[in-house]
Structure 1
Amino acid sequence: MQLIDIGANLTHDSFDRDRAAVLARAQEAGVAQLIVTGASREHSPQALELAQAHPGVLFATAGVHPHHASEYTDECDAEMRALHAHPQVVAVGECGLDYFRDFSPRPSQRTAFERQLQIAVDFSTNGVGKPLFLHQRDAHADFMAMMKNFDGRIGPAVVHCFTGTREELFDYLDNDWHIGITGWLCDERRGAHLRELVKSIPANRLMIETDAPYLLPRTLKPLPKDRRNEPAFLAHIVEELARDRGESLQQAADASTNAARAFFRLPDAVAGSMLTG
């Protein structure tokens, strides 16, 4: 069984003490490749550095999360564009809108999102826009309107860490976008509705992610004492997903891996590479 974690925040300082061990545990758990999330001016270059240190196994995104939208200046845009010139950077983002916390003013969020959508257009390959790694929380109407403004120009898009409603899900599916499912699925307090919704996602548009170190699956036993999520726990998420979808573990794993490899245009996995560096 090979798994691909499409979103892990491996540049987070909670991994500084044991990042190599975290990667080794991920490999032992079947995680063959991993996308390191870049979500700010500070962490996007670090995500690229990690990917370059583990060629063929780790890849990166580069973007500015809506929480950090206030930092999206002309200089920041130039920095993001420079990062996207590297082949290891396989998607634009994490970018989007977050009206739940409003850590950046909403006009700043919309400006930063629009500029990153333009990056995806400008870095097209063979006329297809660069993949988008998207965030949306409590901003669905504005999110959809902004995406519609780029209709026909952007390429593949994944709504990362989907936690929304049935209506939101079908809006995304109607636009042929992909869906990222995390350990939120395992949260009986907030994610119970996802257990039914995941049955409606076509297998070729469903991908899995940990969003580590966040969103530790609550059904994982035993829970780590530090409550830190890590990529090795992706195996637990896919087990829960398979059960909810009425599939075998192998079916769910193969489908999500094939979808991720096609979406991010990844090469075949390189055995053993995560154990070094």
Structure 2
Amino acid sequence: MQLIDIGANLTHESFDRDRDAVIGRARAAGVVRQIITGATVEHSEQALALALQYPGELFATAGVHPHHASDYTPECDARLRQLCQHPAVVSAGECGLDYFRDFSPRHDQQRAFEMQLQLAVDLHKPLFLHQRDAHQDFMAVMAGFTNQLGPAVVHCFTGSKEELFDYLDQDWYIGITGWICDERRGAHLRELVKAITAERLMVETDAPYLLPRTLKPMPKDRRNEPAFLPHIVQEIARERGEDWQATAAASTRVANVFFGLQP
């Protein structure tokens, strides 16, 4: 069994004390590759540095999360374009819209999103997308780039049936996290995950966030980490009526193709 965690925030400060051990535990658990999320320019640079430290095992994305969209300057765009040209940077993003907390004004979010979509078009990069409570505007911005974009994954999907089918109708990929293990907020995903074809499904932890609530025993610090990805895959497979190793193998094949990785 080999897994690829397509979304791990290993540059987060909670990993500063034991990052190498976290990577080792993931490897021992069968998580053979991780895509390290870049959510600011600084963290995108750190993600690339980690990828260079673990060549062939860690890879990076480069982008600016909508929470930080107000910081998206021409200089920021130029730096992301430089980062995205490195072979270890396998996707543009995390980018998109997030109206749940509106940490950046919505017009700033839309502007930064559009600029990163243009970056992906110009550099022929797949997209690592974020959407929360902004579905209609998200779809409208994406529609402005119809027939221009390459592959796109809506990471950490937590939305509605209508949202899911809008994404699948566009042939976008779906990233499922431990949210599916949350009986309070994620119960609806247990039914929706059945509708995602194996050719569009990828798996992720979004570590250190979204610790699976069904994990036993729970880590004392309540920190999620990539080593817990097999538990998430087992939950997904059970709801899909599949052998979990078959689900794991399929998601790994999809991730290798999507990010352009050698099997």
Q: By the TM > 0.5 criterion, same fold?
A: yes
1:266 and 2:246 are equivalent in the alignment: no
For 1:103-252, list aligned pairs within 5 A.
Answer: 103-124=103-124, 130-252=125-247
Higher relative contact order (CA 8 A, sep 6+): 1
Q: Residue 85 of structure 1: CA displacement?
A: 1.2
**Runs of 4+ with deviation above 6 angstroms:** none
Once residues 237 and 144 of structure 2 are traced to their aligned partners in structure 1, the CA distance between those partners, rounded to angstroms, is 36
Output aligned runs, 1:31-42, within 5 Å. 31-42=31-42
Tell me, in whole angstroms, the C-alpha distance in 1 between the residues paired with 2:242 and 2:85: 39
Counterpart residue identity of residue 163, structure 2: E
CA distance in 2, matches of 1:58, 1:266: 11
Number of equivalences? 263
Q: Aligned-pair distance for 1:194?
A: 0.1
1:43-73 deviations in whole A, cap 9, x for unaligned? 0100000001111110000000000000000
Q: Which whole-Å CA distance do the structure 2 matches of 1:82 and 1:123 have between them? A: 10
Per-residue deviation at 1:249? 1.1
1:58 is aligned with what amino acid?
A: L
Task: Give structure 1 stretches of 5+ with no counterpart.
Answer: 125-129, 269-277
1:6 — aligned with what?
6
Cα separation, 2, equivalents of 1:240 and 1:100: 27
Match of 1:101, SS state, is coil
AA matched with 1:45: E
Residue 256 of structure 1 pairs with residue 251 of structure 2: yes
SS of 1:42's equivalent in the other structure is: helix
Q: Distance in 2 between the 1:239 and 1:250 partners?
A: 8
Q: Secondary structure at the match of 2:234?
A: helix
Deviation of residue 243 (structure 1)? 0.3
Alignment partner, residue 274 of structure 1: none
Moved more, 201-210 or 259-268: 259-268
Secondary structure in 1 matching 2:77: helix
Give the distance between the partners of 2:119 and 2:197, measured in 1 at CA. Answer: 28
Deviation at 1:88, TM superposition (A): 0.3
1:69 aligns with 2:34: no
RMSD of Structure 2 on Structure 1 (CA) = 0.5
Letter paired with 1:102: D
- In 2, the alpha carbon distance for the partners of 1:267 and 1:26 equals 19
1:18 corresponds to 2:18: yes
* TM-score using structure 1 length: 0.94
Whole-angstrom distance in 2 between the partners of 1:51 and 1:238: 24
Normalising by structure 2, we get a TM-score of 0.99
Identity of aligned residues (%): 73
Task: Tell me the amino acid that sits aligned with residue 142 of structure 1.
Answer: D
What amino acid is aligned across from residue 144 of structure 1 in structure 2?
M
Q: Give how far 1:42 is off.
A: 1.5
- How far is the alpha carbon of 1:166 from its aligned partner? 0.1
Find the residue that maps to 2:78 and give its secondary structure.
helix
